[in-house]
Amino acid sequence: QVQLVESGGGSVPPGGSLRLSCVVSGDNLEYYAIGWFRQAPGGAREGVSCHSRGDGSIYYTSSVEGRSTISRDSAKNTAYLLIDVLRPADSGIYYCAASKWVPNAQRMCEDVSPDHWGKGTQVTVSW
């Protein structure tokens, strides 16, 4: 059974940085596309960044493009999301997700229907 556990959230002032981690157990992360999704209070869950191993594609939603990096460490079976120059609009619960197959990274982020979800980590950007 695949399990995903996020960490690294917290309260950060605007302009700061955070690196979120997602430890995967139960299978090899190399077999999966990974994604990070965000849900703000009262809002829908939306894709922030996704990475497809199949075609190597990477997708960032426009609000974080240029200040965010998705990555993975195969040796640690862990995925990461780094966001720089944080804004209050970045606040929300961040969920890690994994899917065995996706058409490409953008579709994974847009479809918001991965095979597996983590339970999320809270990110709050405020003074």
Per residue in 49-96, pLDDT (tens digit) is 999 998 999 999 999 999 999 999 999 999 999 999 999 999 999 999
**Helices (DSSP H) in 1-127: which residue ranges?**
105-111
Structure tokens at 114: 């991965």
Candidates 11, 13, 12, 6; CA nearest to 48 is 6
Angstrom distance (rounded) from CA 108 to CA 41: 22
pLDDT bin (cut points 50, 70, 90) of residue 17 is very high
91: number of Cβ within 10 Å: 18
Residue 89: per-residue pLDDT:
96
Q: What is the mean pLDDT of the chain?
A: 97
Residue 59: per-residue pLDDT:
98
Residue 92: per-residue pLDDT:
98
pLDDT bin (cut points 50, 70, 90) of residue 98 is very high
Residue 47: per-residue pLDDT:
98
